[in-house]
Amino acid sequence: MGCRQFFLCLTLVLFLVAGDESSELSNERAALLEFKSGVVSSHPVDRLASWGSSSALPVCNWTGVECSNNGGNSRQIVQIDLSGMSLHGTISASLSNISSLLVLDLSHNFFRGRIPWQLGRIPHLKQLSLSWNLLDGGIPPELGFLRELVYLDLGSNKLFDEIPQPLFCNGSSALEYVDLSNNSLSGEIPLKGHGCELTRLRFLLLWSNKLVGTIPPSLSKSSDLEWLDVESNNLTGELPSEIVSKMPKLQFLYLSYNKFVTQDGNTNLSPFLSALVRAENLQELELAGNGLGGEIPPIIGDLSTNLVQIHLDQNLLYGPIPPQISNLLNLTLLNLSANLLNGTIPLELCRMAKLERLYLSNNSIYGEIPAEFGNLPHLGLLDLSKNELSGSIPDSFANLSQLRRLLLYENRLSGTIPRSLGECVNLEILDLSRNEISGVIPGEVAGLRSLKLYLNLSGNYLDGALPLELSKMDMVLAIDLSSNNLSGTIPSQLGSCIALEFLNLSGNSIEGPLPASIGKLPYLKSLDVSSNQLNGSIPQTLQTSLTLKQLNFSFNMFSGNISNNGSFSSLTMESFMGNQALCGTIKGMHSCKKKKHPYNSITMPLIVSLFAVFSLCLFVYRSISKSKLRSQLGIFSRQDDMDYDEEKGKKNDHKYPRISYKQLIQATGGFNPSTLIGSGRFGQVYKGVLQDNTRIAVKVLDSKTAGEIKGGSFKRECQVLRRTRHRNLIRIITTCSRPGFNALVFPLMTNGSLERHLYPSHGLNPGLSLVQLIGICRDVAEGVAYLHHHSLVRVVHCDLKPSNILLDDDMTALVTDFGISKLVNGVDELKLVDDSVSFESTDGLLCGSLGYIAPEYGMGKQASTQGDVYSFGVLLLEIITGRRPTDVLFHEGSNLHEWVKSQYPHKLSPIVEQAILRYAAMALPSSLNSVWEDAILEMIDLGLMCTQYNPSTRPTMVDVAHEMGKLKDYVTSPPSLLIQATQSKLDAAASSIKAPVNL
């Protein structure tokens, strides 16, 4: 009787609760359920699981739903925030039935279709965020009925048609934040006529659309505007001087890549800059790519001292650079390139101590380069190319410790190359080509090991011999010394420039033979030695090269027989002209008699191959026999015995908690398929919850497959996890073993693997930003560097790839899956803990995963740390290109390294642009693209270095971790402004406008 009374009371309570909710929220519940009926979640966990007609939860407790708290029983839904929940489907018009709604945020999802016009009927809506979806069609004019709307964000969708005038002209607009950027909106900015005054507006983002016309004068009523971005449209007319003069709070002004002109018939920039003087907080000014005419007036120096970046490039500005620009003491970037500027470089520029990047290229600037440039401690890029500069290169450049790119080509510079340039230890690009520089190439400059892109000294008056120090440039991709007066011979040591792809020595007076070592360069694609005095035969190594595509031997004194085989098969007589003593089968070349050889070209290779096969069979037979004997006698190493007692099935190390097989069964629901979160060639991974609510991942190894690796995958992983401790390596909780069952228990990583984020099931852009990915790669590099160089027993992972990188709650990366890793004694990688490191299996189990395997592994080399470096490099290139290495392998017929290098450096722009679009955490002004581009290019450079064919030329993981750390600092540090001046500022400003009421 007691139980019946209890259930009767419980039923009555539920009835009263339901009755209370139905009286206040029945319409809202129905509206939410109708909305949910058109929504699908692609997230592994259904984010809307709490939404349901049978749910016992009150509507106000549903995920993303907040209600007002007015006391008593009068509660209303005031906020729906489902942002970033991986939701698909359409946006239901039923949401308009929630009349009390103040905030609707559905951003960063995958909603398709049109924006329901009925949303304009929510009378008190203050925030509407639908950005970063796949919405199309036009913007409903009915949104103009939202008289209390403060925050409107429809950016980064597929919206088209004109911006409806009622959106801005409803007579009583409360709008403070408007973002319609990155769509395909057309027509004019609709701020014309009575009632079109956005007096409260602080942010107007319209960039990357198809807008035309002028900036409407009524925008001057928006005197509180802080951020105006209309770049990358088709706007015309004079720069809006009258408008910006009434915006004293402006911080970011982006007008680049339109069709604006200056005042007085495109001859006077002064009125516009004068109008900006009142903007005391101005930080970034972009006017690039408009065709602006006139001089740069001295008043530019009166702009805000808070200015950090000025972009005036790709215009028609003429006259001298005003020295007053040096008053902008906090400037880090100044771009005046591609104009008609003349005069000399003002010495005052050299007083801007915070300057990091200076672009003055493609102008008509003359005079000498100021030696005072050496006083700029942060200068990393100096581009003075394509001017009329004369005099010598200052010795003071040696003081520029941060200088990475020095571009002085196409000037009239004379004198010699300063030896002091060899002290620029971070220099990556040095281009002094097409000047009037004489003297020898200093050994200090030729030995710059930091150069990793190119050295170009062509088109000068350099003489003397090629310095032997050139052989130290083991990371440089291109060397061009053509069109000089160089003499002597080509040193065979150039074969040490193992990353070299392009070598041009043409147009000199070099004599002697062409070294065979040049043909052995593993990546050489282009070789030009034409117009010299080289003699002797052309080395056979060049013909057998697998990478050479372009060759020019013309106008030398070469002799001998040339066949049209190998890399010579695509050459014509033009590559051999002017060599009278050459003969052979190249079309147009006179034939010569072939020498008879005692052996044909097949016999010797066949003998060598048969001997190699015989040796391999003997090795495998002896290895298998040895393994069987050890197994029959029960012989194990002391290391094995310490780790695992296979007879008892117990770990000898008792410091791990004991979890029984029964407990694992209970935690995973009997290893129910619904708990399966991953599978691979060595077993499956299940998620589960222990009795103490600990969330775990259980890796159950397939005893048959895992046993195919000598020593066993289970034992190997135990060995590694037992001996390694690092914040970026997965932490083992315990192991569980019984006959026929081996399992490893780890903490459950709720954010899953990097693989899941790079290739989400919805097939669209991953939810990670570039900043996050750089942090993840830095974490991985730190973890692998620890394995290679700092753990008690060195470890080679052997299977580094996105699916073996897990992400914890704060997106810290942890390297996992050590099933095929190798233990190395000390620092000598040739001495391994056991015999299992040699690649004996015929099915490739030990080699890692296809696409990530280092090329030397395919030639029978032992596992090494350099192999992990190669896999990490593939990972970097995969992240940037968005392409799996196997996709490139099967569709392009080459590996990811070769494919990226085929685009390098002049075809990288599409890759960089797609990466920016793919990993943009939010809609950012394109002024920040330079920072993002730099970061992406650095990752490409590092990826190519890590995936070099020769293992000895790859950096160590310690070096890689250091570079990734610097890159992370670059994209997150104040000088970069990526976070400080843009994303965080925009986010902070937006958050101050969002949710304007106390919920």
Q: What pTM did the predictor assign?
A: 0.65
Q: For residues 419 and 421, what is the distance between their CA atoms, to the nearest angstrom?
A: 5
- Among residues 748, 771, 797, the one where a domain terminates is 748
Residues 216 and 93 in one domain: yes
- In this structure, are 741 and 863 located in the same domain? no
Q: Is 228 helix (H, G, I), strand (E, B) or coil?
A: strand
Catalytic residue from among 179, 528, 799, 817: 799
Decide if 507 is inside a domain.
no
Q: How far is the C-alpha of 418 from the C-alpha of 158, rounded, in Å?
A: 54
pLDDT of residue 6: 40
732 close to 744: Cβ distance less than 8 angstroms: yes
CA distance 764 to 919: 11
The rounded distance, in Å, linking the Cα atoms of 351 and 324 is 11
Q: What is the pLDDT of residue 485?
A: 95
Residue 685 and residue 769 in one domain: no
Whether 988 is covered by a domain: the verdict is yes
* Neighbour count for residue 880 (Cβ, 10 Å): 24
Which residues contact residue 768 at a Cβ distance below 8 angstroms, ignoring those fewer than 6 apart?
A: 757, 758, 776, 811, 919
Domain carrying residue 712? 646-748
Predicted local confidence at residue 618, as pLDDT: 47
Residue 210 sits in the same domain as residue 170 = yes
Phi (first) and psi of residue 398, to 5 degrees: -60, -20
Residues 6+ apart with CB under 8 A from 520: 495, 541, 545
Question: Do 869 and 724 share a structural domain?
Answer: no
Kindly report the CATH number assigned to the domain that includes residue 659: 3.30.200.20
Residues 810 and 855 in one domain: yes
Cβ count within 10 A of residue 391: 16
Please tell me the total count of domains within the chain. Answer: 4
The pLDDT value recorded for residue 629 is: 32
Cis peptide before 905 (omega within 30 of 0): yes
For 359, list phi and psi in degrees, rounded to 5: -115, 115
* pLDDT at residue 77, as a whole number: 92
State the Cα torsion 348-353-359-360 to the nearest 10°.
10
pLDDT at 765: 59
464 class by beta-carbon count within 10 Å (0-12 exposed, 13-18 middle, 19+ buried): middle
Q: Tell me, yes or no, whether 956 and 819 share the same domain.
A: yes
Q: Residue 993: inside a domain, yes or no?
A: yes
Count other C-beta atoms under 10 Å from residue 625's C-beta: 10
Listed in sequence order, the residues at least 6 apart from 32 whose beta carbon sits closer than 8 Å to its beta carbon are 51, 59, 62, 65, 80, 94, 98
Strands 695-701 and 683-689: antiparallel
Tell me, yes or no, whether 803 lies in a domain: yes
What does residue 704 show for φ and ψ, rounded to 5 degrees?
Answer: -75, -50
- Closest C-alpha to 525, from 501, 555, 500: 501
Assess whether 681 and 784 both reside in one domain.
Answer: no
Cα–Cα dist 412/389, whole Å: 5
Please state, in angstroms and rounded to a whole number, the distance separating the CA atoms of residues 417 and 462: 9
Strand order of the β-sheet with 485-487 is 438-439, 461-465, 485-487
How far apart, in Å, do the first and last CA atoms of the chain sit? 45
| 939: CATH | 1.10.510.10
The answer on 757 and 708 residing in a single domain is no
Residue 960 within any structural domain of the chain: yes
Tokens of 778: 């830095």
The residue from 712, 728, 748 where one domain ends is 748
Catalytic site residue 941? no
User: For 284, phi and psi rounded to 5 degrees?
Assistant: -140, 135
Residue 668: its pLDDT value, please? 84
Q: Which two tokens stand for residue 189?
A: 């900015």
Same domain, residue pair 690 and 766: no
Is 103 within the bounds of a domain? yes
Looking at the fold, whether 685 and 811 belong to one and the same domain comes out as no
Do the annotations mark residue 520 as ligand-binding? no
Which CATH number do you get for residue 181? 3.80.10.10
**Domain co-membership, 629 together with 763:** no
pLDDT at position 18: 42
Q: CB–CB of 583/562 below 8 Å?
A: yes
Residue 376: how many CB atoms within 10 A of its CB? 23
Q: Are 155 and 178 in contact (CB under 8 A)?
A: no
Look at residue 909 and tell me if it is in a domain: yes
Q: Residue 938 burial (CB < 10 Å; 0-12/13-18/19+)?
A: buried
Angle between helix 865-881 and helix 909-919 axes, rounded to 10 deg: 80
Average confidence (pLDDT) per 10 residues, the chain, 999 residues: 43 40 69 90 72 75 86 78 88 93 91 94 94 92 92 92 90 86 92 82 93 94 94 94 95 94 96 95 94 96 94 95 95 95 94 93 95 91 95 92 91 94 86 95 86 88 93 86 95 87 94 92 90 93 87 93 87 89 87 59 48 48 41 29 32 55 84 76 78 82 52 56 71 76 82 85 68 92 87 79 87 77 50 32 47 76 86 94 75 74 79 82 52 86 88 87 86 48 54 54
Nearest one of 335, 332, 276 to 311, comparing CA atoms: 335
Rounded to whole angstroms, how far apart are CA atoms 12 and 6?
10
Could you tell me if residue 86 is inside a domain? Answer: yes
* Domain end point (choices 690, 725, 748): 748
Listed residue (750, 895, 747, 877) closest to 801, CA to CA: 877
Predicted local confidence at residue 43, as pLDDT: 59
The pairing of beta strand 65-67 with beta strand 550-552: unpaired
Query: Cα dist. 259→207, 234, 287, 291, 971 in Å?
Result: 14, 6, 10, 7, 31
Q: Which residue, chain included where needed, has tokens 């990688």?
A: 829
The residues with which 237 forms a beta bridge, in sequence order, are 260
Which single residue is written with the structure tokens 């060598």?
608
The three-point CA angle 711-712-713 to 5° equals 130
Q: What is the CA radius of gyration of the chain?
A: 34
> Residue 704, Cβ neighbours under 10 Å: how many?
8
How far from 627 is each of 622, 623, 631, 711, 862, CA to CA, in Å?
9, 6, 6, 10, 19
